[in-house]
């Protein structure tokens, strides 16, 4: 138990540059507190003390602003940064060394029974406000951009942004480069991501501009031809 607690504290120092000392981490990090409370609620849950487990979970939510269902499975090295508004559903599975930022939801899409929440494999990063909804897997090392809504499986080592979420990078390569065997490396920070919607709008604007120039040229040629025909008739 003490080894796990020390590892939890070490993870905070490794991923949050704002952490200054051990006592600050122990006393002032709600994400850490939520994980500790969850271990107790999950221990009660697997022994079918469901009401007691939910009471512990509810208490943790009251104090931390983070709701983790007692049935959720969390691996080692999970880090919840800031944590306000994080929701993790009953059948969610969170792998080792996963990082979740504030406002993240690992939820379901309906009232179906059984596995209805996502599985996050090791080293996944889910940025602020992202929603991962449904029973599917987010592959190892994947990044989900801030505010994204993910509704289908995510390949390992890829980056997803948008509503609904779209895979834009795999293993640090733009998706189009990946498909054509590109080799260019991209050092991607989860907070600095391409915007596929903006790129499509930009492409459309460029196409419209080309069509307008072509139309203008055709109109000028037509006007010139009309002028020549009028002169010949005269």
Read off the pLDDT of each residue in 6-24 and give the average, rounded to a whole number.
86
Contacts of 87 (CB under 8 A, 6+ apart): 66, 67, 68, 104, 105, 106, 107
Evaluate whether 87 touches 65 at the Cβ level (below 8 Å): no
Q: What angle do CA 101, 104, 105 make, to 5 degrees?
A: 155
Name the average pLDDT for the chain. 83
Q: Residue 34 — pLDDT band, cuts 50, 70, 90?
A: very high
Read off the pLDDT of each residue in 2-26 and give the average, rounded to a whole number.
86
CA–CA separation, 196 and 201 (whole Å): 9
Q: Which residue has the higher pLDDT, 185 or 5?
A: 5
Measured between its terminal Cα atoms, the distance across the chain in Å is: 102
User: Which residue matches tokens 């494999």?
Assistant: 121
Evaluate whether 200 touches 208 at the Cβ level (below 8 Å): no
Q: Burial-class residue 8 by CB neighbours within 10 Å (0-12, 13-18, 19+).
A: buried
pLDDT of residue 100: 93
Query: Structural domain boundaries of the chain?
Result: 2-194, 195-234
Supply the CATH classification number for the domain 2-194.
2.160.10.10
pLDDT greater than 70 at residue 188: no
Evaluate whether 150 touches 132 at the Cβ level (below 8 Å): yes
Tens digits of residue pLDDT in 76-134: 989 998 888 999 999 999 999 999 999 999 998 877 788 899 999 989 999 999 999 98
Evaluate whether 98 touches 73 at the Cβ level (below 8 Å): no
Evaluate whether 70 touches 88 at the Cβ level (below 8 Å): no
């Amino acid at each position: 138990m003490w080894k796990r607690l020390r590892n939890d504290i070490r993870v905070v120092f490794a991923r949050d540059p704002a952490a200054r000392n051990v006592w600050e981490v122990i006393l002032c990090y709600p994400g850490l507190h939520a994980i500790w409370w969850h271990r107790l609620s999950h221990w009660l849950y697997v022994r079918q003390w469901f009401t007691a487990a939910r009471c512990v979970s509810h208490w943790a939510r009251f104090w931390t602003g983070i709701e983790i269902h007692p049935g959720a499975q969390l691996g080692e090295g999970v880090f919840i940064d800031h944590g306000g508004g994080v929701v993790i559903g009953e059948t969610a599975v969170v792998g080792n060394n996963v990082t979740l930022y504030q406002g993240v939801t690992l939820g379901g899409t309906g009232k179906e029974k059984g596995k209805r929440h996502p599985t996050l494999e090791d080293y996944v990063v889910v940025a602020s406000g992202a929603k991962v909804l449904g029973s599917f897997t987010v592959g190892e090392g994947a990044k989900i951009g801030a505010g994204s809504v993910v509704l289908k499986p995510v390949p390992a080592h890829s980056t997803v942004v948008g509503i609904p979420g779209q895979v834009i990078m795999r293993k640090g390569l733009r998706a189009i480069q990946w498909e054509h065997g590109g080799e260019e490396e991209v050092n991607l920070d989860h907070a600095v991501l391409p915007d596929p919607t903006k790129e499509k709008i930009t492409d459309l604007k460029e196409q419209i501009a080309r069509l307008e120039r072509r139309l203008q040229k055709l109109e000028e040629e037509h006007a010139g031809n009309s002028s020549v025909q009028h002169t010949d008739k005269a």
